[in-house]
Structure 1
Amino acid sequence: MGGLRNLSGLDASQLVIDGDLKISGNNNLESIADLNGVVITGTCMIANNPLCVGCTCGSIGLAAFTTSTTTTSTTSTTTVTTTTSTSTTSTTTRNPAYEGDVLCQSSAQLADAAALLEDRLRINGMVAFSNYDSFTCDVDATTLASMTAISHVEALEIRGSTALETLAGLEALAAVEFDVAIRGNAALSNLSGLDTLSSIGLDLTIRGNALLTSLSGLSSLTHVGGQLAIQSNPVLETLDFMTSLGSVDFLLISNNPLLTEVDALASLTSVNTLYVFGNDELANVNALRNVTIVGDCFISGLKDCVSPDACSCSDL
């Protein structure tokens, strides 16, 4: 490709490279601007193009994801001649989007999962850390910190962790296309780390978290397209911090024995199906008076609830 001067004719907005991008050894190449914004699934290496000033992976929009940069210079001298050779800088770059699932199902996979997630902005697949039944991937805070730049995943499962106390590391996560499951995490006390999350396309399940006392971290959540299930969290007393939620398809609040109020749900306006039962200390559902319930409604077992408080579906 010695005579190539530029890459005109390429439309980077329509170009996806399924693999690595390598541009090297083009003596007359002067510009790679036509690749600005290209999407690749592998790594990028641009080097040894002597006339292409400023031509790096960073110059076409991948600079934030540099994983290694090397420059070498060698000089050899004899009694007759002196030869100096210098190689140009080579930059290897990771694509900000990963195509596929990242499923950690054993402790041996933790390091690989973290390495795969690090420096990504988007995962076009599911991210799951699973430690239950035959799965033994016990995620910790260090591993979760590998997700600090990720703003979008298709689905997220954090299940069975014995170490996580919060969800720190997920602060950039703004949207989940399908489901989020936070289940059976023995040390989790709140959901801090999800503070930017505003939309979940399908279900949000918060279930069986032994030390969960607060839903801190969900203050930005406005929409759950499927089921919001808050179940079997033995020390959860309040739904505080869910104050922005406007719509849910199916709201299920059950078997949270210390839950005393649901006041944070006062912003909720639309629910297709509502089930509230098995919450021994819950005295009323006054916060749900303004909710329009389109389908089924079942409310049972409220503690000493009497009029004028909202005690049943007919009171809503």
Structure 2
Amino acid sequence: MTQSCTHASLIMELDVGGCWLASASLPQVLDLSKDNFHGHLPIDFSHLPWLEKLSIWRNHFNGLIPQTTSHCHHHQVLFAAENEFYGSIPEFLSSLPKLKFLNLYDNGLTGTIPVTFANISKLEHLNIGQNQMHGNIHSELGSITRLQVFCVEKNILTGSKVKQFVINITAWSLGVEGFVGAILARNSFKGHLPLGLGNVAMMFNMDISVNKLSGELPLLLSKLQMLEYLNLSQNTFDGYIPEQLDHMRAIACNEHFSDANFLGSGSFGSVYKEILADGRTVAVKPRSLSTFRCPSFESVPKIGYHD
């Protein structure tokens, strides 16, 4: 099957049935998003050494992530969400020195998070949510000082080293650009939230819902004054949400957003009752998790051809 491309100045022919891509002037950007491609990704990326951005999201590509992508030493963006890739996340991705954006959301990937990701010093956005990853989150990942978004939701990650992960978040929040958010929802993490969470200098979103976390909510959560979205629901936490966090756009904690606390709905969505630690009752509106799900599609750099 041959997929025609309108930008002939960059790509002369793409033959998905074969295994080659002929180019007139080696492209820096290749966008095959939402084109309903099936089968293995047939491009030999060793012939595209200057490729900086590859977007193939929302197709039906399957198989292993091609090893030849390791030849793209100028690669900055790999956006391969919503495909059918399987196997482990290849460690050769860690050899891409300029990689900033890696989104493998919603594939069939297995194995553990490569500890060698710590070598991708320029990585800003890591989204490997909705796969079948297992194991712990390595402490070494805290050395990625430019990381702004970390999403591992909807996997089967386990472990009780929550304290170490908070140390990672703290390191990321002190990085070059600050830290936007961590999404760890729908895994099997255990343990208590450590006091060190209050030391995170800058974080806007945190979702650790639907895990096996427990214990008292640290009062130092009140120090997270930059936090806009916090979801702690479907864990077994005790205590109250600190009143200093009532500035947030949404708070979700255990059964607080249950039918019993429903106040009404309107053009701005549903509103629920929330009781703060000082006894005050406030009305809050939960921000839809489907809209924040992961910044996988909201904050992805625009992928397109150069004119």
Q: Given the two structures, how large is their TM-score scaled by the length of structure 2?
A: 0.51
Q: Secondary structure at the match of 1:251?
A: strand
Secondary structure of the equivalent of 1:123? coil
Residue number in structure 1 paired with 2:60: 136
| Deviations, residues 223-264 of structure 1 (Å, cap 9, x unaligned) | 344x43331113333566783423312333322234446779
Determine the structure 2 residue equivalent to 1:99.
28
Match of 2:156 in 1: 234
Q: Which residue of 1 aligns with 2:228?
A: 296
Q: Contact between 2:61 and 2:85, CA under 8 Å: does it hold in 1?
A: no
Distance 2:69 2:209 in 1: 38
The correspondence for 1:274, drawn from 196, 206, 210, is: 206
Rounded to whole Å, the distance in 2 between the matches of 1:153 and 1:232 is 25
Q: CA deviation at 1:148?
A: 4.7
Contact between 2:153 and 2:185, CA under 8 Å: does it hold in 1? yes
- State how 1:138-287 maps to structure 2 within 5 Å: 138-140=62-64, 143-148=66-71, 150-157=73-80, 159-161=82-84, 163-178=86-101, 180-201=103-124, 203-216=125-138, 218-225=141-148, 227-237=149-159, 243=168, 244-246=171-173, 247-260=178-191, 268-283=200-215
Q: Is the 8 A contact 1:159 1:184 kept in 2?
A: yes
Structure 2, unpaired ranges of 5+: 1-8, 13-23, 246-307
Instruction: Give distance in 1, aligned partners of 2:51 and 2:220.
Output: 35
Deviation (angstroms), 1:212: 2.5
Partner Cα distance (1:186, 1:109) in 2:
15
Q: 1:98 to 1:172 in 2, by over 3 A?
A: farther
Distance 1:260 1:288 in 2: 17
Tell me, which stretches of 5 or more residues in structure 1 are unaligned? 1-17, 20-40, 43-93
2:60–2:84 contact (8 Å) kept in structure 1: no
Judge conservation of contact 1:173–1:196 (CA < 8 Å) in 2.
no
* Larger relative contact order (CA 8 Å, sep ≥ 6): 2
Cα offset, 1:294, TM superposition: 1.4
Aligned in 2, Cα 1:101/1:220: closer, same or farther, shift over 3 Å? farther
Distance in 2 of aligned mates of 1:285 and 1:291: 13
Once the two structures are superposed, residues 79-134 of structure 1 have per-residue CA deviations (whole angstroms, 9 ceiling, x without a partner) of xxxxxxxxxxxxxxx99x7411254864556232xx134572x5332243x5x6xx
Bigger CA radius of gyration: 1
Q: Report how many aligned residue pairs link the two structures.
A: 213
Paired AA for residue 70 in structure 2: M
Supply the distance in 1 between the matched residues of 2:136 and 2:74 (Cα, whole angstroms).
23
The aligned residue for residue 124 of structure 1 is 52
After superposition, the C-alpha distances for 1:47-67 in whole angstroms (9 at most, x for unaligned) are: xxxxxxxxxxxxxxxxxxxxx
Partners of 2:237 and 2:150 in 1: how far apart? 24
| Cα distance between partner residues in 2 of 1:298 and 1:251 | 10
Distance (Å, rounded) in 2 between the aligned partners of 1:98 and 1:222 = 30
Cα root mean square deviation, aligned: 4.3
Q: Which amino acid aligns with 1:279?
A: N
1:253-291 Cα shifts (integer Å, max 9, x gaps): 322234446779788421123343222335467698596
* Structure with the higher fraction of residues in helix conformation: 2
For residues 282 and 173 of structure 1, do their structure 2 counterparts lie closer, same or farther at Cα, with a shift above 3 Å needed?
A: farther
